[in-house]
């Protein structure tokens, strides 16, 4: 980690708790539409299950790069239909408002304190599949002190495509080994390592709720393994 | 200005003083190479005179979009030759270090205080022809509290091409009229207005030194006219 100048962060799950945030905003929506029987966390999980397949259309080249706000919105309409709700019968503004739940996710308790310490020594920026407006609105609301907003939209490629990591390093004016990815997901770190980036694993064992079975521990010897962002700052002597 | 959610800023001349910053770093370089006879401010002016023609190659389509660090570096070599210095005889690291003078420009005295106030009410981001790494390194050194780093490299178009303004608004998830450009240059504001953005003129009468003759006053009825960023914050009730 001696050469590292910039830390770039996975966001959904690593920086913020998407499941509780989406569920919090889905609950009153479902209730308004007479569907208080649907568990808002299960609704969040169902919405999120459509995330990778939607991006895969872009990664594969079957569809041009399309920002996440648009994929999220298409996925929302599909998940509503799956639950017997007709999106065409719901006001556009209301769908848009719920879609923006992804802009209003709360950070994990250690996130802001850890980022603030890390920022004193490193360039810090998201390297997320979220689009710029989503990440910027999230940062503004949550007080995430990013130096820049990077990620899939700026790189025009979704992780784990190599271009997402390599173009981000290039835009920063750095070589891959001068950039470290911080993520709670072993797969993301593996792809970053494959591109020459350094890797920091931070466990987020409640990302998928109390029954989580994935990414509970590092799957490889990542350069740094930390329990949260404050521990990461301590391990990097920030 | 009622609808405006984001303020985007021209940077060279508007946010920072490029002439004094470049001259400060050019002076010891010229001295080391036995050319203390060259006025460092005149050297800065000569370097800057090659800025618009270099970007024009990209705007016109004769050259693909090329980030400003590379154009600056080519222009540096040309301006050294114009002054009888052979860039090939100078160490690569030394040329690169001088080229990064553009990453180390100081803000005007009111910049940080003004931006800090404006940030409480608006999204604030550069909309500069500078590339992301340049703007990020500048912000980190100078304490510019941007919410995001936008501009030509993210939009893949140099101002005053309409794409630079329109893609920036689109990336922010905003309509053009929800974005205001803050600039010390009437031409930049005219292009932004042509795209539907709102416009804020801040006079920087010393950008080109004591003899400046251009952009001393607004050339049109811009939406806001301010004497500096603190005045702009006051006029926008921040």
Could you state, in chain order, the average pLDDT of each consecutive group of 10 residues for chain B (238 residues)? 97 98 98 97 98 97 97 98 97 98 98 98 98 98 98 97 98 98 98 98 97 97 98 97
For range A22-40, the mean pLDDT: 97
pLDDT of residue A129: 98
Q: What is the mean pLDDT of chain A?
A: 98
- Given B74, B103, B132, which residue is the final one in a domain? B103
pLDDT of residue B124: 98
- Cα of A52 vs its chain's centroid, Å: 12
Residue from B69, B169, B171, B174 to probe the interface with A (highest A Cβ count within 10 Å): B171
d(CA A45, CA B203): 52
Which tokens belong to B96? 């690169």
pLDDT of residue A153: 97
pLDDT bucket at A219, cuts 50 / 70 / 90: very high
Q: Environment class of residue A90 by beta-carbon count within 10 Å: exposed (0-12), middle (13-18) or buried (19+)?
A: middle
Q: What is the DSSP string of B154-200?
A: HHTS-TTSHHHHHHHHHHTT--GGGEEEEES-HHHHHHHHHTT-EEE
For range A191-216, the mean pLDDT: 97
d(CA A105, CA B178): 24
Dihedral over alpha carbons B137, B142, B146, B151 (to 10 degrees): -50
CB B207 within 8 A of CB B215: yes
Q: Determine the residue of chain B that is closest to A173 in CA distance.
A: B133
pLDDT of residue B40: 98
Which range marks the domain in which residue A24 is found? 18-103
d(CA A119, CA A44): 31
In a domain, A27, yes or no: yes
CB A133 within 8 A of CB A124: no
For residues B114 and B229, membership in a common domain is answered with yes
pLDDT of residue B25: 98
Which tokens belong to B46? 């000569």
pLDDT of residue A88: 97
Q: Is the dihedral of CA A170, B123, A9, A73 positive or negative?
A: negative
CB A15 within 8 A of CB A142: no
For residues A73 and A110, membership in a common domain is answered with no
For residues B96 and B199, membership in a common domain is answered with no
In a domain, A202, yes or no: yes
For residues B40 and B121, membership in a common domain is answered with no
CB B181 within 8 A of CB B192: yes
In a domain, A69, yes or no: yes
Contact list, A146 vs chain B (CB under 8 Å): 148
- The residue assigned the tokens 């292009």 is B191
Q: Which residues pair with A182 in a beta bridge?
A: A9, A200
For range A183-191, the mean pLDDT: 98
pLDDT of residue A58: 97
The CATH number that applies at residue A96 is 1.10.150.240
Contact list, A148 vs chain B (CB under 8 Å): 132, 136, 146, 148-149
- Given A60, A85, A103, which residue is the final one in a domain? A103
Expressed in angstroms, the distance from the first to the final Cα of chain A is 13
d(CA A195, CA A165): 7
For residues B227 and B119, membership in a common domain is answered with yes
**CB-CB neighbours of A140 under 10 Å:** 16
Residues of chain A that touch chain B, judged by Cβ-Cβ distance less than 8 Å:
69, 123, 131-134, 136-137, 139-140, 146-150, 153-154, 171-174
For residues A97 and A110, membership in a common domain is answered with no
Number of CB pairs, chain A paired with chain B, less than 8 A apart = 54
Residue range A33-86, pLDDT digits in tens = 999 999 999 999 999 999 999 999 999 999 999 999 999 999 999 999 999 999
In a domain, B1, yes or no: no
For residues B122 and B55, membership in a common domain is answered with no
For residues B127 and B224, membership in a common domain is answered with yes
Q: Is the dihedral of CA B79, B85, B91, B93 positive or negative?
A: negative
Number of domains in chain B: 2
C-beta atoms of B172 and A69 within 8 A? no
Contact list, A131 vs chain B (CB under 8 Å): 171, 173
Q: Interface pTM (ipTM) of the complex?
A: 0.95
- Cα of B162 vs its chain's centroid, Å: 17
- The residue assigned the tokens 């960023």 is B229
d(CA B118, CA B24): 30
CB A175 within 8 A of CB A187: no
Residue A117, min C-alpha distance to chain B (Å): 14
Dihedral over alpha carbons A158, A63, B131, B32 (to 10 degrees): 80
Dihedral over alpha carbons A48, A71, A18, A206 (to 10 degrees): 30
Helix (H) or strand (E) holding A123: strand A123-128
For residues A194 and A92, membership in a common domain is answered with no
In a domain, A228, yes or no: yes
d(CA A172, CA A153): 15
For residues B89 and B135, membership in a common domain is answered with no
CB A128 within 8 A of CB A153: no
Report phi then psi at B178, rounded to 5: -95, 5
Contact list, A172 vs chain B (CB under 8 Å): 132-133, 136
C-beta atoms of A136 and B153 within 8 A? no
In a domain, A1, yes or no: no
Residue range B174-204, pLDDT digits in tens = 999 999 999 999 999 999 999 999 999 999 9
Which tokens belong to B132? 């992301």
pLDDT of residue A198: 98
- Given B103, B122, B148, which residue is the final one in a domain? B103
Contact list, B173 vs chain A (CB under 8 Å): 69, 131-134, 137
For residues A115 and A159, membership in a common domain is answered with yes
Phi-psi region of B7 (alpha: psi -120 to 50; beta: other; left: phi over 0): beta
Q: Determine the residue of chain A that is closest to B138 in CA distance.
A: A147
In a domain, B61, yes or no: yes
Residue B147, min C-alpha distance to chain A (Å): 7
For residues B29 and B139, membership in a common domain is answered with no
Residue B136, min C-alpha distance to chain A (Å): 7
C-beta atoms of B173 and A137 within 8 A? yes
């Amino acid at each position: 980690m001696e050469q590292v100048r910039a830390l770039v962060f996975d966001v959904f799950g690593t920086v913020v708790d998407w499941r509780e945030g989406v569920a919090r905003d889905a609950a009153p929506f479902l209730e308004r539409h007479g569907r208080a029987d649907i568990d808002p966390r299960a609704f969040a999980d169902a919405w999120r299950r459509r995330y990778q397949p939607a991006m895969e259309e872009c990664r594969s080249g079957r569809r041009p790069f399309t920002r996440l706000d648009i994929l999220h919105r298409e996925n929302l309409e599909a998940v509503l239909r799956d639950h017997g709700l007709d999106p065409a019968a719901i006001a556009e503004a209301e769908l848009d408002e719920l879609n923006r739940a992804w802009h209003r996710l709360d950070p994990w308790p250690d996130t802001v304190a850890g980022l603030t310490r890390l920022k004193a020594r490193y360039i810090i920026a998201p390297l997320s599949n979220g689009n710029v407006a989503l990440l910027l609105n999230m940062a503004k609301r949550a007080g995430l002190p990013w130096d820049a907003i990077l990620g899939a939209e700026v790189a025009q490629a979704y992780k784990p495509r190599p271009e997402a990591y390599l173009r981000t390093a290039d835009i920063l004016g750095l070589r891959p080994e001068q950039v470290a990815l911080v993520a709670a997901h072993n797969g993301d770190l593996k792809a970053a390592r494959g591109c020459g980036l350094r890797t920091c694993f931070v466990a987020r064992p409640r990302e998928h709720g109390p029954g989580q079975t994935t990414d509970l521990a590092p799957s490889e010897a990542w350069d740094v393994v930390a329990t949260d962002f404050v521990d990461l700052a301590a391990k990097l002597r920030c």
